[in-house]
């Protein structure tokens, strides 16, 4: 949901540390036992879910403005409620009906689970869900618009970065985790990429997002077995195939705090299986010069958070009562300049490829099949359609935060064999754009809601002109001076119709 796209990190797959799970059957990554208990409880859950479901079309209630970010299985749009004019973020996810989805797919049950978990929690440091829609195989989850972007980006923009800043962030996260644990919610994918800011450049407004792997326990004693999460953040008990509790969130919190303080992961290796073994050993890196820059209190807190023994690991509530938070000492004197420089490198490693375009260059050219989708970071573009009579119509302007892809158009003549045509997108000034895989993201751009409205407006205006010319028998709309009217330019108008 951030303002910038990040790479979709590999999730932990069944098996964890191979030597630790050999000879046993790994638990399913889609563990049905974690989704709820009896049939009655599922029916009750669905009944409660209906209180948030809006049966209208999302386009009838909200104006879809521009893409805020992409990642994993979702695209997040900025939107405005048509009646109240209040701004929201809408997370769009395409669901598969398969009961056994592939690793790169998300099922209807999983999306409903995310909605069910999120609607039950309300905390200033946790993203809030307002309502959701289901149409054409896609879910549209309406949430508060977090305008501060990604936490990591904001940290890199700080003029001065100190241990006190890390403390401000950590306190908010632990308060949110403590709240979640009291309410029997386990996030299971807590990481820096899922931390956003409600307000720009305000690190006191941290919000936890992306509850796609979260689960709601029946009670405080329920344990889970599904191996899931992001490798560098996952707790040892998950990797070892053991049952686990919300304590896995505390481990991930330790990884986040360490990274904020040092500028790199506490456990790192290029080989994933070796990484898993290092994590299970619990021996994090302390040899960096940055480790010597932080105080003894936070070092002790990190040891408590990153404790392999679950029984000895601090709880979120315990961590909030640690001396690092309660002692009367100001950590703002501990400058983390070197750690901040390492965070820059860390952040760059998570960013998707970026392309630049000079003024006049084409991002997408009509008539060509593209293989990439773009999310504009800086600059503006014109969207144009070449008509059958040789003229070109400008149908839209695109800028920062807008999603650009192969915008499908179709013929209006009813010919099922007609090939789809594309619009052209051309840089007006210098443009910088994040590159996304068309194979992964095509579903999200098949229906560019904001462009659809603009193109339809152009179509309606041109039809009105053509009707007027037809009534007057005019030829002024035909560039060759021949017969005018709707028949002469009908194919050009039809070429702009969206699928």
Q: What is the DSSP string of 261-316?
A: HHSS-SS--SSHHHHHHHHHHT-----SGGGGGS-HHHHHHHHHHT-SSTTTSPPH
- The overall longest dimension of the chain from CA atoms, in Å, is 87
Assigned domain for 208 exists? yes
Whether residue 462 is found in the same domain as residue 423: yes
Whether residue 42 is found in the same domain as residue 114: yes
Q: Which two tokens stand for residue 214?
A: 């979260």
pLDDT at 360 over 80: yes
Q: Which of 92-106, 197-211, 335-349 is the least confident region?
A: 92-106
CA distances from 291 to 166, 168, 262, 294, 330 (A): 14, 19, 6, 6, 18
Whether residue 198 is found in the same domain as residue 336: yes
Whether residue 114 is found in the same domain as residue 169: no
Work out the percent of the chain whose per-residue pLDDT is above 90.
Answer: 23
Assigned domain for 30 exists? no
pLDDT at 155 over 70: yes
326-356 confidence digits (pLDDT tens): 987 777 778 787 787 788 777 776 666 778 8
DSSP states of 136-159: TTEEEEEEE--TTEEHHHHHHH-S
Assigned domain for 25 exists? no
pLDDT at 87 over 60: yes
Burial letters 272-300, b for 16+ CB under 10 A, else e: eeebbbbbbeeebeeeeebbebbbebbee
Number of separate domains in the chain: 3
> How high is the pLDDT of residue 259?
94
pLDDT at 446 over 70: no
Taking the C-alpha atoms of residue 129 and residue 134, their distance in angstroms, rounded to an integer, is 15
CA distances from 304 to 276, 311, 491 (A): 20, 11, 69
Whose structure tokens read 């540390």?
Answer: 17
Assigned domain for 20 exists? no
Assigned domain for 255 exists? yes
Taking the C-alpha atoms of residue 188 and residue 249, their distance in angstroms, rounded to an integer, is 6
Range of the domain at 188: 149-350
Whether residue 164 is found in the same domain as residue 309: yes
CATH number at residue 464: 2.60.120.10
Q: What's the mean pLDDT in 390-414?
A: 66
- Residues noted as catalytic: 189
> How high is the pLDDT of residue 371?
65
> How high is the pLDDT of residue 28?
31
User: Which has the higher per-residue pLDDT, 308 or 493?
Assistant: 308
Whether residue 159 is found in the same domain as residue 200: yes
91 is in an annotated binding site: yes
Final residue of a structural domain among 124, 144, 164: 144
pLDDT level of residue 367 (50, 70, 90 thresholds): confident
Whether residue 209 is found in the same domain as residue 128: no
Taking the C-alpha atoms of residue 371 and residue 278, their distance in angstroms, rounded to an integer, is 39
252-281 confidence digits (pLDDT tens): 999 999 999 999 999 988 888 899 999 999
Q: Which two tokens stand for residue 479?
A: 């560039």
pLDDT at 206 over 90: yes
Give which of 138, 140, 114, 124 is closest to 49, Cα–Cα. Answer: 114
Whether residue 122 is found in the same domain as residue 197: no
The chain-wide mean pLDDT, for the chain, equals 74
Q: Which of 70-74, 200-204, 209-213, 300-304 is the least confident region?
A: 70-74
CATH number at residue 186: 1.10.510.10
224-254 confidence digits (pLDDT tens): 667 677 888 989 998 888 888 888 999 999 9
* Ordered alpha helix ranges (H), 62-203: 108-119, 151-157, 163-182
pLDDT at 182 over 70: yes
CATH number at residue 76: 3.30.200.20
Final residue of a structural domain among 101, 127, 144: 144
Torsions phi, psi for 221 (to 5 deg):
-90, -10
pLDDT at 18 over 60: no
Whether residue 311 is found in the same domain as residue 170: yes
Assigned domain for 49 exists? yes
Q: What's the mean pLDDT in 430-456?
A: 60
Whether residue 329 is found in the same domain as residue 413: no
User: Which has the higher per-residue pLDDT, 184 or 411?
Assistant: 184
pLDDT at 172 over 90: yes
DSSP states of 245-272: -THHHHHHHHHHHHHHHHSS-SS--SSH
Whether residue 292 is found in the same domain as residue 392: no
> How high is the pLDDT of residue 462?
61
User: Which has the higher per-residue pLDDT, 7 or 410?
Assistant: 7
Assigned domain for 397 exists? yes
Assigned domain for 474 exists? yes
pLDDT at 449 over 70: no
> How high is the pLDDT of residue 21?
31
Taking the C-alpha atoms of residue 72 and residue 74, their distance in angstroms, rounded to an integer, is 6
Q: What's the full length of the chain, in residues?
A: 499
Report which secondary-structure segment, H or E, holds 75: strand 74-81
Final residue of a structural domain among 291, 317, 350: 350
Work out the percent of the chain whose per-residue pLDDT is above 70.
Answer: 67
Q: What's the mean pLDDT in 469-485?
A: 46
Whether residue 263 is found in the same domain as residue 381: no
């Amino acid at each position: 949901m951030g303002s910038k796209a990040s790479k979709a990190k590999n999730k932990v797959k069944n098996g964890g540390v191979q030597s630790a799970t050999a000879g046993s059957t790994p638990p399913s990554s889609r563990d049905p036992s974690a989704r709820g208990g009896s049939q009655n409880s599922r029916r009750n859950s669905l009944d409660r879910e209906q209180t948030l479901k809006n049966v209208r079309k999302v386009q009838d209630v909200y104006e879809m403005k521009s893409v805020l970010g992409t990642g994993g299985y979702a695209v997040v749009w900025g939107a405005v409620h048509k009646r109240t004019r209040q701004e929201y973020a809408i997370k769009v996810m395409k669901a598969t009906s398969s009961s056994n989805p592939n690793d790169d797919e998300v099922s209807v049950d999983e999306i409903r689970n995310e909605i069910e978990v999120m609607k039950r929690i309300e905390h200033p440091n946790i993203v809030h869900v307002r309502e959701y829609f289901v149409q054409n195989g896609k879910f549209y989850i309406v949430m508060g618009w977090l305008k501060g972007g990604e936490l990591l980006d904001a940290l890199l923009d700080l003029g001065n970065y100190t241990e006190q800043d890390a403390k401000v962030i950590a306190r908010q996260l632990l308060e949110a985790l403590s709240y979640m644990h009291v309410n029997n919610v386990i996030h299971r994918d807590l990481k820096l990429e899922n931390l956003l800011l409600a307000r720009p450049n305000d690190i006191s407004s941290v919000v936890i997002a992306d509850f796609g792997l979260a689960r709601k326990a029946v009670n405080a004693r329920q344990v889970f077995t599904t191996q899931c999460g992001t490798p560098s953040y996952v707790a040892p008990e998950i990797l070892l195939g053991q049952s686990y509790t919300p304590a896995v969130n505390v481990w991930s919190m330790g990884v986040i705090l360490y990274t904020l303080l040092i500028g790199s992961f506490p456990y790192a290796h290029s080989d994933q299986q070796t990484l898993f073994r290092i994590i299970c050993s619990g021996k994090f890196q302390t040899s960096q010069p940055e480790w010597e820059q932080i105080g003894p209190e936070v070092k002790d807190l990190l040891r408590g958070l990153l404790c392999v023994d679950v029984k000895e690991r601090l709880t979120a509530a315990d961590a909030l009562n640690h001396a690092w938070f309660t002692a009367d000492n100001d950590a703002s004197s501990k400058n983390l300049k070197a750690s901040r420089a390492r965070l820059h490198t860390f952040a760059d490693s998570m960013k998707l490829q970026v392309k630049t375009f000079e003024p006049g260059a084409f991002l997408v050219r009509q008539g060509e099949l593209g293989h990439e989708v773009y999310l504009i970071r800086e600059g503006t573009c014109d969207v144009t359609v070449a008509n059958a009579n040789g003229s070109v119509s400008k149908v839209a302007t695109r800028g920062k935060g807008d999603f650009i892809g192969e915008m499908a158009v179709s013929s209006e003549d009813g010919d099922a064999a007609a090939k789809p045509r594309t619009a052209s997108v051309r840089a007006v000034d210098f443009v910088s754009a994040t590159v996304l895989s068309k194979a992964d993201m095509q579903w999200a751009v098949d229906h560019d809601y904001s462009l659809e409205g603009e193109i339809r407006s152009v179509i309606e205006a041109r039809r009105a002109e053509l009707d007027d010319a037809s009534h007057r028998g005019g030829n002024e709309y035909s560039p060759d001076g021949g017969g005018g009217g709707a028949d002469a330019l009908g194919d050009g108008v039809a070429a702009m119709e969206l699928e």
